[in-house]
Amino acid sequence: MAGGRERSSRTQRPWSVYRANTFELSSEMIGLALAGNSQDPDEPVLEFSIACTELATPALERKPNSFVAVSCTTPPQAFWTKHAQTEIIEGTSNPMFLSSIAFFQDCNINHQTQVKLAVYDVKDRSQGTMYMLGSALFAVKELLQEKSHRLELELRSAENQRVGKVTVAAWQMEDRADHRMSVRSLPESINGRTVLPVDESLTESMGVRIKYASLCKDSLLRSVFGGTMSRMYRFPTTDGKHLRVLEQMAESVLSLNIPRQFVKLLLEEDTARVCELEELGELSPCWESLRRQIVSQYQSIILTHQETLSDLNSYRGPSFKASNLKADRKLEFMPTNLHVQRMRVQNELGFEHTYDVVTIGAPAAHCQGFKSGGLRKLIQKFEEAKKHAQSSSQSIVYIPQDIVRAKEIIAHINTLKTQVNYYAERLSRAAKDRSASGLERTLAILSDKTRQLVTVCDCKLLASAIQALNAGRPEYIASKASPTTEPEQVVLRNDQDTLLAKWSGRNSRSSLHVDWQEEEWEKVWVNVDKSLECIIQRVDKLLQKERRPSSSSLDSSQHDLQGSSQKGDEKRRAFWINPGSSSQDSLPSEPPPPSSSPPPYSSSSPALSSSARPPSPEQENYGSPSAEEAYPGEWSEVLYPLLTTLTECVAMMSDKAKKSMVFLLMQDSAPTIAMDVSLQYRRDVVFCQTLTALICGFVIKLRNCLRDNGFLRQLYTIGLLAQFESLLSTYGDELAMLEDMSVGVMDLRNVTFKVTQAAGSSAPDMLPIITGNRDGFNVRIPLPGSMFDALPREIQSGMLLRVQPVHFNVGINEQQTLAEKFGDTSLQEIINVESLSRLNSYYEQFKEVLPEDCLPRSRSQTCLPELLRFLGQNVNARKNKNVDILWQAAEICRRLNGVRFTSCKSAKDRTAMSVTLEQCLILQHEHGMAPQVFTQALDCMRSVGTREGVIQKNLSGLLPVRDLRLDPSLMYSLPLLALSPNLLVVWIFLSVAYFLAKVRCR
């Protein structure tokens, strides 16, 4: 994210550093000075830069490759604690280090804190051989008391010889009237001592900072992220000024929280699928055997999910998965090395920009291995196996669109059935309360939901599935020759203005069995439609009696209800010529209402129970004594039998339709169920890792842009752009990892977000919540009340926010060289071409519906269409290791308000190289960093930046010998140690200790 903000008034500024006109500084002032800004934990309480001069080495002909290690101790602590170190500057006796030394609030320094500066000379960076040139000490109190806040200290070697000088300079802005608070506005003295302000640059006004969310302070981000590491830099600009850069990296508790929720949802979905298969009823021996096989496969995967969920719930380790645990089956749903990388840039005018990148190890199923390839290849094999199985099968063959439609029908039936039952209950309550307006409103909704359900069930796919399910019953062969033994009947149906007649009975044994099955299914949903019509007419009559004094109201009510009824009849209308016909299906009878009188409709029909059959036309004319006449004061008793009839008809229709769709899906998956379950499990693992990273990116992007109306409008209009950058080679295992990742990224198109108001202010109340199933997941993002109120009305109302994922890959390591010379890079080319097309499509959507001012401003002279054109040229050019693709895609993403994700195999080395290079390019192109320090700044971020912390955290899991306080730099190479027998003995001893410690950790 990039956005400029202007510093607001500094009428009340927190002080970071003070100076006094006396040599002795009071402890009260020191405490106030070092307390920092309690409102902003991202701000250091003390920051200084280091420069060395006249460094001397024993070998006079060689200039040192130096860095400074900073340690500190605060009495009564009796030992030194390493705090930070600078980058290495090679080949100069007068190095000026770009990385500044910052002490944050958690350092707990005071005026008595002693700081030790140790200058080292690195002889061989590859071997890590170095020695200390000299050191110097100073107290924090001395730096604060110095008028210029600048100390020049002599460096003394271990032999107490002078080896050079080191300069310590606390950072401050120039005295400017528009940037500094006037001295007259400050208190003249504290405890009798004159005080003058010194450092204004170490803190910022709250007016600026409140627009940015602190990873350490913000309530939302603090609930999601933790373990924040910070580094400070000061880079010169082309106009002779300085950029103040804060680099941060944080872990996320979502690395564990999201997989727990996700696996739980998978467990519920697969368990429900087994229940649906069991509820199909009795099947023929052939289908029963296939059902047992399918259930067995699902039960096996359910056990796996249960074990995984138990392992995740019992996990008590850090909130990130180290790279050495990639193949750990207990943690395979967790993403590897998931972190958020942040860079905050502030210039001397107070403008600030924040850039965030989510880094993650390539989402892949490491535990399952890559011998058979990744998801792309496995999906292709699965589709080929399925086609072969269908060609050799005698059962009905369904196209992929039918399978998707079947899943949609099941979902719609489940939802609409629940809604019909709910509004039927609401209608009953309105009748009990004799609320005319409540009856009208609820009846309108009930009618709409019921007719939606009927429309869903009136489709050819469902009719053919019902026929297939009936054919799978054991009694199908016996009943096939005689569909019905009842007297003749005919059903006339108005279908698209064409009157069709379908006969069945004794004289129609030559008619197709398919027609008879369709006719029987038609009766089911027609009964639902007719039951609804009865309710509408009965409510109409009740309201007529209620409004009888007003004829105008009566006519209006009749007209509205007739129109409502006719809408449902426009598509279909059924007339029962012989209502005494039978149906093989029957419904269990509901208990009668709490009344001694019989239900209003008493004609019997074997097709339905006494409470679940539709009324006859004669009864619809209200020729018989009506219930409302017997109970003039109780509307609920009048409507109870009709509502019971409707709910029973809906239940029968929904149950029959759902079972037929479940059987259809069973037919489709039966021939390849083992491969299907295995493939789906791998896809679930990859998707979970990708989804976790996406949620982290969405949360931090939403929080940072909470007051960016352009971004919020773009978010609810065309969705969020999520750009994934990977550095995987197309050779060996990484080729399969790339296949896995590409599928996982594209599956994010089935994810939507919904922003809600948090129920409380605690951290668990603000964690994202996942709902849904494999056909589509929704992520609810709870926000505190004050943040939620800042959102536009569209997002507050619960609008679903879409995601547009794109994925660009360029291999950059030595394996990619092999792939380009002897292997195949077609997968990388396909992925990049597909993502380029989606990126262009996203920008076209943006241009159609949104203005350009929704996008962040940029100093770049290249417009977005030109950037997209250059990206297209690079994607289509056959150029080895064309990293221009990554740089241009990243810039386009930032300028389209997108979220950036960077990954390699483990999110360590290659990811660190990419992230730091991107940061330096941003500093140079967007903030005017001097080009002559580009290389030094890049080396600075790579050697002492926050990305080095990822490597250290991963090594702490691989090298338990660090617990014994053994420095890995002692482990020199064997050829060097062989020169000295004593060193060789030491090396052997340390190697054995390392081996034993590693075995112990396993």
What is the dihedral sign for C-alpha 706, 710, 714, 720?
negative
Measure the CA–CA gap between 729 and 433, rounded to whole angstroms: 70
Contact 516, 484 (CB under 8 A): yes
Inter-CA distances, 997 with 260, 569, 967, Å: 31, 79, 14
Structure-block tokens of residue 959:
């090298």
Q: By C-alpha distance, which of 466, 15, 348 is closest to 200?
A: 15
The 3-class SS string of 687-709 reads: HHHHHHHHHHHHHHHHHHCCCCH
Measure the CA–CA gap between 893 and 900, rounded to whole angstroms: 7
Measure the CA–CA gap between 228 and 389, rounded to whole angstroms: 54
HSE, CB side, 13 Å, CA atoms: give it for residue 428.
15
Inter-CA distances, 720 with 500, 698, 707, 723, 771, Å: 50, 8, 16, 10, 19
Measure the CA–CA gap between 758 and 954, rounded to whole angstroms: 35
Measure the CA–CA gap between 695 and 700, rounded to whole angstroms: 9
Nearest 5°: phi and psi at 685? -60, -50
What is the dihedral sign for C-alpha 767, 772, 775, 781?
negative
Q: Measure the CA dihedral 376/380/386/388, to 10°.
A: -160
Nearest 5°: phi and psi at 19? -135, 155
The b-or-e profile of 442-461 (16+ CB within 10 A means b, else e) is bbeebbbbbbebbebbbeeb
Measure the CA–CA gap between 488 and 506, rounded to whole angstroms: 7
Measure the CA–CA gap between 105 and 102, rounded to whole angstroms: 10
Q: By C-alpha distance, which of 760, 645, 840, 804 is closest to 219?
A: 760
Q: By C-alpha distance, which of 158, 75, 122, 301 is closest to 943?
A: 122
**CA Rg value for the chain:** 37
User: How many whole angstroms from its chain centre is CA 993?
Assistant: 43
Contact 959, 110 (CB under 8 A): no
Structure-block tokens of residue 633:
């004061």
One-letter identity of residue 710: G
Let me know if 904 is a catalytic residue.
Answer: yes
**Coil/strand/helix, residue 1:** coil
- Residue matched to tokens 């590897």: 336
One-letter identity of residue 690: T
Strands 150-156 and 225-236: unpaired
- Residue matched to tokens 């050799």: 392
The one catalytic residue in 904, 920, 940, 1001 is 904
Strands (E), 347-454: 352-359
Measure the CA–CA gap between 760 and 640, rounded to whole angstroms: 42
Q: Give the Cβ contact number of residue 973 at 10 Å.
A: 12
Residues facing residue 122 across a β-bridge: 130
Strands 352-359 and 489-495: unpaired
Q: Give the Cβ contact number of residue 604 at 10 Å.
A: 12
Measure the CA–CA gap between 847 and 439, rounded to whole angstroms: 47
Q: Give the Cβ contact number of residue 1001 at 10 Å.
A: 12
Structure-block tokens of residue 115:
């700081």
**Coil/strand/helix, residue 724:** strand
State the catalytic residues: 904
